[in-house]
Structure 1
Amino acid sequence: MSKIEVRNIYKIFGPRPERWLEAARQGIGKQELLAESGHTLGLRDISLSIEEGSIYVIMGLSGSGKSTLIRHFNRLIEPSAGQILVDDVDVVTLGKTELEKFRQQKMSMVFQRFGLFPHRTVIQNVAYGLQVQGMGKRERHERAQHWLEQVGLTGFGNQYPHQLSGGMQQRVGLARALATDAEILLMDEAFSALDPLIRREMQDQLLQLQSQLNKTIVFITHDLDEALRLGNRIAILKGGELVQEGTPEDILLAPADDYVQSFLQDVNRGKVLNAVHACNEPSLTLTMRSRPAHAIERMAERNFDYTVVLDGKRLAGILTRATVEQAVRDGARDVARYVEDMATVPATAGLDEVLGRMLRSTDPMAVTGENDEFLGMLSRSKVVELVTPALESATADGVDSDSAASTDGTTARTAA
């Protein structure tokens, strides 16, 4: 379900934006518009759908329009044209009183430079939004104290912002945004002013809180590593226009153009992609109740040395040609007693972890989800291709044949 719908948003900065709106719609370039009119094109025809309970990342270089866009959501910036729908209500149509109430109840914002009041204590800063809402002193103090505890700042309530480190100040900003219990959290380059280690800690903090709170979070960044780590979906802007939108996997595996590709050149794919991206659905699976003669026939048709056996949706194990032939000789009614344990890798395992397992074993591996649900067979060639995209496919094939000659060919056939 969409929490926020952005529909055909245009923003032209200047004294008479309406005069140049049609030119923007017809595709006039940013520099041409500036030269002809003295107006600046901030956003051109941006449409996005942001799902409830997701972290939606908007990224791009300086001047791409990302901060301009997020400020449209709570109308800190007024659009030149278009709609911003939150729970099917067009924010653009709200009057002054309605807009004030909307900002207090629906959205909170965390800024890059913390935005704390220097003359207020930490707990007073956290409680500020509650004070604006009219909450009583005792109740807002208790709620502010709760959120300070949630962000790891127990005992710092009576300090002033200047007495805290940058990372601690940003935690105060986060606690202030969460204290109002707003459904939507807008974070504009919230972690970019922090040192790398503190930034990582804040990302961990946000993900931990999100797992508990399930807020709708719109997160602005210029850092693709941060976007890939946090985002359920990512929108990439350039020059006020949407270049690409999709899941982190979409961005990594199919960059739209050279601009997007330039962000990807230093990304560690092994930490972003996981085992699911490198598995194939097998063309043959058997069940625990399969008859041995039937199993031999099916395996012989495909020239397989082994196949996967399922117990419902759950992975039971592996059945080899040798063991199924023994089952026939024993006169067994089904293959259940002849199924052997099989190496597995969880679907959530990063490809860097998967690659490590590949190097330690040449055995075929299954990819499993929750409750041992079978998702597919790990493809070694896919792992190599995804982790080392710059290599020629022939190189990847060469690595396969060298590292897993005895099993990978069979795995590939099984998973074809």
Structure 2
Amino acid sequence: MSKIEVRNIYKIFGPRPEKWLAEAKAGISKEELLARSGHTLGLRDISLSIDEGSIYVIMGLSGSGKSTLIRHFNRLIEPSDGHILVDGQDVMGLGRRELEQFRQNKMSMVFQRFGLFPHRTVLDNAAYGLSVQGITRAKCEEKARHWLEQVGLAGFENQYPSQLSGGMQQRVGLARALATDAEILLMDEAFSALDPLIRREMQDQLLQLQSRLNKTIVFITHDLDEALRLGNRIAILKHGELVQEGAPEDILLHPSNDYVQAFLQDVNRGKVLNAAHALPERGPRLTLTMRTRPGHALEQMQALRYDYAPVLDGKRLGGVLTVGAAIRARDEGARDIAGYVDDMASVPASAGLDEVLAQMLRSNEPLAVVGENEEFIGLLSRSKVSELVAPVTSDNPEAAVGNAAADPAGAGQGTTPGGAAAA
């Protein structure tokens, strides 16, 4: 269910934005608008749907409009045109008093530069959002202490911001935002001022908190690694326009243009994509069951020129049957293949490709992908794993040759089931 709906938002900065709105809608470029009018196009026709309980990442380079967009959600910036709906309510229609209550109760914000009051203690900073709501001091302090403990700052209540590291200051900002119990958390470049190690720790902290709290979080960043790690969905902006929106793996596998591709070039794909992404698109062309007759199994494998085939026990992976084992079962007069099935290595569908690649490098045996209850999903393709981890480009044609040699099925020769790893 959508928590936030962004509908056709335009933002033009300047003294008379309404005069140039029609031009912006007609497609005038940002440069031409500035040259002709002295106005700046901040956002053009942005529409998004943000699900309740998700982490939605909006990213782009400096000047892309991402911070401008997030400030529309609580009307810190007024749009030139368009609508923002939260729980179906149009934020644009709120009066002054209603808007104040909306900001106090519905949304909290965490800023890039912490936004702490230097003359207030950590406890007072964390309690600030509650104090402006008119809550008693005792209750403010009780809730502030609770959230400071949740972000790992118990014992620092009487310190001042200047006495804390950058990462600790940002934890105070996070505690302050969480203390109001707002349903929506807006985080504008919240971790970008931190060094890489502390930044990673804060990302971990946010994911741990989200697993318990299930807030709707809108997270702004210019860092794609951070976006891919945190986001359930990602929107990429350029010059105030939306260039691509989707699940992290969709963006990674199907970049919409060169701008998005440039973001992706240094991403560790093995940490984002998982084993399910490395399954052949057509799925396995042959699976057997424990009750399959040896002669029938052998006929099917020989017809497809397969050296082996996965065997199911119900929906679960039972193991693997080789051609040699099928011949023995037939020659020995076995009624089915159950006694001739060997164990088969498997990985969960959620396993990262870096983990899958490490396992593949340790063994040439076929590798199956299984679901949560060990149900069989498919066989991994070595060539596809290699392609996903290190995509083939025109600058790297040798990779295609190497992949085909390592995995004939991936190259279309059909010697293994469903593009499985060659034994």
Q: Please classify the TM superposition score into its range, dividing by the shorter chain length.
A: over 0.9
The percent of aligned pairs where both chains have the same amino acid is 74
Please state how far the C-alpha of 1:127 moved relative to its aligned partner: 1.4
Q: Please give the per-residue CA displacement for 1:331-381, whole angstroms capped at 9, x wherever unaligned.
A: 433333322211112222222222222222111111122122222111111
2:12 aligned with 1:12: yes
User: 1:305: how far off?
Assistant: 1.8
Provide, for residues 10-54 of structure 1, a one-character-per-residue CA deviation record: whole Å limited to 9, x for no partner: 001112111111010001111211122121111000011111111
Show the 5 A alignment for 1:311-390: 311-390=313-392
What is the match of residue 285 of structure 2? 283
Contact 2:304–2:415 (CA under 8 A) maintained in structure 1: no
Query: How many angstroms apart in 2 are the aligned matches of 1:299 and 1:103?
Result: 65
Q: Which moved more, 1:390-399 or 1:98-107?
A: 390-399
Partner of 1:293: 295
Distance in structure 1 (CA, Å) of the matches to 2:148 and 2:58:
27
How far does the alpha carbon of each residue in 1:95-135 deviate from its partner, in whole angstroms, 9 at most, with x for none? 11221121122111000010111121111111111222232
Residue 319 of structure 2 aligns to a residue in which SS? Answer: strand
Moved more, 345-354 or 21-30: 345-354
Cα-to-partner distance string for 1:257-301 (whole Å, 9 max, x where unaligned):
221122122212222222211112201112223333332233233
CA contact (8 A) 2:306 2:415 kept: no
Q: Which residue of 2 is the match for residue 304 of structure 1?
A: 306
Gapped runs of 5+ residues in structure 1? none
TM-fit CA distance, 1:406: 11
Structure 2 equivalent of residue 395 of structure 1: 398
Summarize deviations over 1:155-202 as a string: whole Å, max 9, x none: 111111111000000001011111111111100000011111111111
RMSD: 2.1
Partner SS for 1:415:
helix
SS in 2 for 1:133: coil
Between 223-232 and 168-177, the greater mean CA deviation after superposition? 223-232
Please state whether the residue corresponding to 2:8 is helix, strand or coil. strand
Q: How far does residue 413 in structure 1 lie from its aligned partner after superposition?
A: 3.5
Question: How many residues are aligned here?
Answer: 416
Q: What pairs up with 1:8-407 in 2 under 5 angstroms?
A: 8-280=8-280, 281-391=283-393, 395-400=398-403, 403=406
Q: CA deviation at 1:146?
A: 1.4
Give 1:407 shift. 11
Letter in 2 for 1:295: A
Q: Which moved more, 1:361-370 or 1:290-299?
A: 290-299
Greater Cα shift, 3-12 or 256-265 = 256-265
Which letter does structure 2 place at the counterpart of 1:287? T
Cα distance in structure 1, aligned partners of 2:340 and 2:137: 70
Q: Secondary structure at the match of 2:373?
A: helix
CA contact (8 A) 1:148 1:154 kept: yes
Contact 1:385/1:391 (8 A) holds in 2:
no
Give, in whole Å, the separation in 2 of the partners of 1:299 and 1:155: 67
Aligned equivalents of 1:412, 1:124: Cα separation in 2: 68
Measured in 2, the distance between the counterparts of 1:149 and 1:285 equals: 53
Contact 1:272 1:350 (8 Å CA) reproduced: yes
Pick which of 21-30 and 122-131 moved more.
122-131
- What's the secondary structure of 1:191's corresponding residue? coil
SS of match in other structure, 2:148: helix
Mind listing any 5+ residue stretches in structure 2 that lack a counterpart? Answer: none
**Structure 1 pair 191/323, CA: closer, same or farther in 2 (3 Å)?**
same
TM-score by length of 1: 0.94
Amino acid at match of 2:192: S
Deviation (angstroms), 1:137: 2.5
Cα distance, 1:401 vs structure 2: 5.5
- Secondary structure in 2 aligned to 1:301? helix
Distance 1:24 1:367 in 2: 50
Aligned residues of 1:344 and 1:368 also touching (Cα < 8 A): yes
Question: Secondary structure, in 3 states, of the residue corresponding to 2:159?
Answer: coil
Contact 1:381 1:396 in 2 (8 A): no
Change (3 A) 1:33 1:371: same
* Amino acid paired to 1:283: R
Work out whether residues 364 and 407 of structure 1, in 8 Å CA contact, stay in contact via their aligned partners in 2: no
SS in 2 for 1:68: helix
Greater alpha carbon shift after TM alignment, 330-339 vs 306-315: 330-339
Shift of 1:3: 1.1
Gap change, CA 1:359 and 1:408, over 3 Å in 2: farther
| AA in 1 matched with 2:143 | R
Contact kept in structure 2, 1:359 and 1:403, CA below 8 Å: no
Higher mean alpha-carbon deviation, 201-210 vs 289-298, is at 289-298
Q: 1:213 to 1:405 in 2, by over 3 A?
A: same
Kept in 1, the 8 Å contact 2:192–2:199? The answer is yes
